[in-house]
Amino acid sequence: MPEPSAPLLLDGALATELRRRGFELEAPLFAARALLEAPDLLVEIHRDYALAGAQVLSTNSFGLHAATLARAGMAERQAELAARSVELTFLARQLVRQSGSERTSFRVAASVPPPPPSPSEGDAPELTRAALRSLASALVDAGADLVLFETFAKPEHIRAALEVAGALEVPVWLSVVGDARPGHRGQLLGGVPFDALAALLREPGLRRPDALLLNCTQIDAVPRALDALLQTARAAGLEGVDLGLYPHLGRARHDGEWIDRILEAEVYAGQIEAWMAARPALSIAGACCGSTPAYVEALARRLHPDAAARERANVRLAHRLP
């Protein structure tokens, strides 16, 4: 049976979408505070992404590292809040079903970012591993279908994620950030060469991810970063591993003010489609900070234009994430 050809479609932003819908993002929890104060709004956002065509919904768990919760006086509530972040995606499935839509077969990705550094010990490897293990395990125990280590750039964080991944019994995806500074667009955020990522992916004893992606990368930095990502996958021998992207939509204006969205939904979707057409190895797409369900819907129209394409995408989903 031939491999399904339609790409997998991810969801979009949670934090900036919460803010767009009127929820204030306040330190230290930012979007994670919505688990406590606006769970119904989170369910609605998850529902809207599913109805837009997303096949993978990410949990609202970016702020659930124990160190972050400790700053909010909630260090002991990680497992509870992780479970709630997964539960809200299940509630969204119920709303999708009640709406009469058939788009209920989405999978749930446990969103696990790099942990914040310890004020006293920085990025000590054992602390990094413990933080990633704790959050990933809590989300998997709550029912997440895969673990998405996302927004990684430091080699020491990537190594820790791949070490932790070895003990996880679900698929693991790794997503890294490309550097948007002039002259650094073929590197990871902060100027780390993609060669360092390739070396880690080749290292014996480290689990290789089931998908390798580029996320939270500025639009104008994407082409070089994508080419570097594809070269990394080849250099690391990642045959059969899905590759993809979900860049952010923001940029600093000439006066320094940050603009959340510099591209409209149809323009963004057309750009993603063009990048994927020029790089057939890419098989996963979505959107990051600044996006809304309208962006996912525009992507779905481009990438899943008819019932046959949607069916091929669902076959791919079932094959990759049973």
In a domain, 292, yes or no: yes
In a domain, 183, yes or no: yes
Question: For residues 142 and 139, what is the distance between their CA atoms, to the nearest angstrom?
Answer: 5
In a domain, 101, yes or no: yes
Q: Is 132 annotated as a binding residue?
A: no
pLDDT in tens, the chain (322 residues): 444 479 999 999 999 999 999 999 999 999 999 999 999 999 999 999 999 999 999 999 999 999 999 999 999 999 999 999 999 999 999 999 999 999 999 999 999 999 998 765 556 889 999 999 999 999 999 999 999 999 999 999 999 999 999 999 999 999 999 997 766 657 999 889 999 999 999 999 999 999 999 999 999 999 999 999 999 999 999 998 999 999 999 988 888 888 888 999 999 999 999 999 999 999 999 999 999 999 999 999 999 999 999 999 999 999 999 9
Q: Tally the domains of the chain.
A: 1
Q: Is 288 annotated as a binding residue?
A: yes
Determine the residue type at 180.
A
CATH of the domain at 22: 3.20.20.330
In a domain, 315, yes or no: yes
Pairing of strands 56-58, 107-112: parallel
* 16-31 as b/e: b if 16+ CB within 10 A: bbbeeeebeeeebbbb
In a domain, 1, yes or no: no
Question: For residues 299 and 272, what is the distance between their CA atoms, to the nearest angstrom?
Answer: 8
In a domain, 246, yes or no: yes
In a domain, 103, yes or no: yes
Q: Is 289 annotated as a binding residue?
A: yes
CA angle 168, 7, 262 (to 5 degrees): 100
In a domain, 94, yes or no: yes
Question: For residues 233 and 242, what is the distance between their CA atoms, to the nearest angstrom?
Answer: 10
Structural domain span for residue 67: 8-320
